[in-house]
Amino acid sequence: MEKYEYRSYIKIRTLLGQTPTDIHEDLVTVFGDLAPTYRTVAKWSTYTKEGKTDVEDKPRSGRPVTETTTENIARVRSVIDQDPHSTYEDIVDETLLSRGTIENIIHQHLKMRKVTSRWVPHDLTPEQKKERVRICKENLRMIESGSWRLGDIITGDETWIYFKQNRRKASNASWIEEGQSPGTVTRRSQYAPKRLYAIFFKANGWLYVHCLAKEGTLDRFYYINNCLKPVVKELWKQRPNSGTRGLRLLHDNARPHDNSDVLTYLKEEKLDLMPHPPYSPDLAPCDFWLNDYIKSRLQDQQDENSLFKAVTEVLNSIPEEEYRKTFKKLLERYQLCIKNKGDYFEHLIS
């Protein structure tokens, strides 16, 4: 039945002396859940007793038959342009339109949807974006021309690895029975046991892994003596006839890396340095792949020795093809950085 039909029935039954309770019970008996609520029945029964006989809705002043007009679409767009974080309630308050109208305008006419803001490593300046584009173009040009080979790139970085692993939210989900409380996961303390690892790898596999001493400090001297020198030694072992000739080191611009003593040492060893843009973990293979790969596959460890063993076991388990694919992805990321005019591009990766 239509609303006016229900109201007509309530009106007639009220005029016949029926109470709202009896009228509501009769409607429920016939129409079940489709019947109007007792509150509605009582309201229209009162209207009838007060002499109001019209059962149709009165026109609402100031509101057109349809609110989805060109003017209202522009009003909603204006509110969103002024504050992209506006909620539906904010837009209702600003425009005095109904929520349903606003939802229709936003989704059907403006073709907009609300997404969570992206976290970025750094608020890049225009100059830093230009530098990212310049270096990406130059590195791509050298590789695509054949002057550099992907197989000749060595990359490495440092990362903190905890003894106790905190899983992603999805992996902590579990089925529980009705009435049962979910399990808990304790937030990891900043003082939880951890060690700083330096890991280097090439397109054919990992090259060297080093765990910084508990009381050690990673400065340029430590980096040269405990990271670069062992890497060079391993290269000579793998390439006894050519050593470091033709090889290139790709590391970020962290303070221990970007130092005149480090550059001097690399020059002495004839190990060329591959340019890397500032504030660019999205262009560093350790950051966009290896570090997270290792941590996601580690189990809780009891001490430093078991942690080191577990890290090396993960490195050994990675197929050679995965290492090769990472350097191919580096080229794709260079192209995405250029396409996005130097800005961060993770949202462009499907």
**Cα dist from 261 to 60, 221, 238, whole Å:** 79, 8, 26
> What are 196's strand-pairing partners?
160
Pairing mode, strands 153-162 and 248-250: parallel
What CA–CA distance (Å, rounded) separates 330 from 144? 13
- Please give the pLDDT value at position 184: 67
CA distance 18 to 30: 17
Average pLDDT over residues 114-140: 88
- Residue 205 φ/ψ region, left for φ over 0, alpha for ψ in the -120 to 50 degree band, beta for the rest: left
The amino acid at 160: W
The per-residue pLDDT for 185 is: 63
Q: Residues 200-208: what's their mean pLDDT? A: 97
Q: What b/e string do you get for 60-84 counting C-beta neighbours within 10 Å, with b at 16 or more? A: eeeeeeebbeeebbebbeebbeeee
Q: Is residue 103 scored above 80 in pLDDT?
A: yes
Give the lowest-confidence range in 131-145, 179-193, 230-244, 261-275: 179-193
In tens, the pLDDT along 161-198 reads 999 887 655 455 556 666 767 666 666 777 788 999 99
Average pLDDT in the 16-24 region?
89
Locus of tokens 């890396």: 257
Please report the domains of the chain, with CATH numbers, ordered by start residue: 3-49 (1.10.10), 126-168+190-348 (3.30.420.10)
> Average per-residue pLDDT in the chain?
88
What is the per-residue pLDDT across 25-62, written as a single tens digit (0 to 9) for each?
888 888 877 788 888 888 888 888 888 777 665 555 55
Q: Residue ranges of the alpha helices (H) in the chain?
A: 3-15, 20-31, 38-49, 70-82, 88-95, 99-104, 126-144, 169-172, 220-223, 229-238, 260-268, 285, 291-296, 304-317, 320-339
Segment 291-311, tens digit of pLDDT: 999 999 999 999 999 999 999
- 230: Cβ–Cβ under 8 A, 6 or more apart, which residues? 208, 210
Give the dihedral of Cα atoms 180, 181, 183, 188; nearest 10 deg.
Answer: 180
Would you say the pTM of this structure is higher than 0.95?
A: no
Report the alpha-carbon distance of residue 58 to residue 67 in Å, rounded.
17
User: Confidence class of residue 160 from pLDDT cuts 50, 70 and 90?
Assistant: very high
Strand order in the sheet with 153-162: 205-211, 194-202, 153-162, 248-250, 272-273
Which residues on neighbouring strands pair with residue 201, listed in sequence order? 155, 206
Q: What is the pLDDT of residue 335?
A: 96
Q: Which of 6-20, 112-126, 145-159, 233-247 has the lowest mean pLDDT?
A: 112-126
What pLDDT is recorded for position 58?
58
Provide the sign of the torsion angle of the four alpha carbons 215, 217, 221, 225, taken in this order: positive
Least confident of 170-174, 285-289, 345-349: 170-174
pLDDT at 28: 83
Structure-token pair, residue 295: 């941590």
- Identify the pLDDT of residue 172: 56
Read off the pLDDT of each residue in 119-130 and give the average, rounded to a whole number. Answer: 90
Name the least confident of 11-15, 203-207, 334-338: 11-15
- What pLDDT does residue 116 have? 64
What is the per-residue pLDDT for 154? 97
Residue 149 has pLDDT above 90, yes or no: yes
- The pLDDT of residue 122 is 87
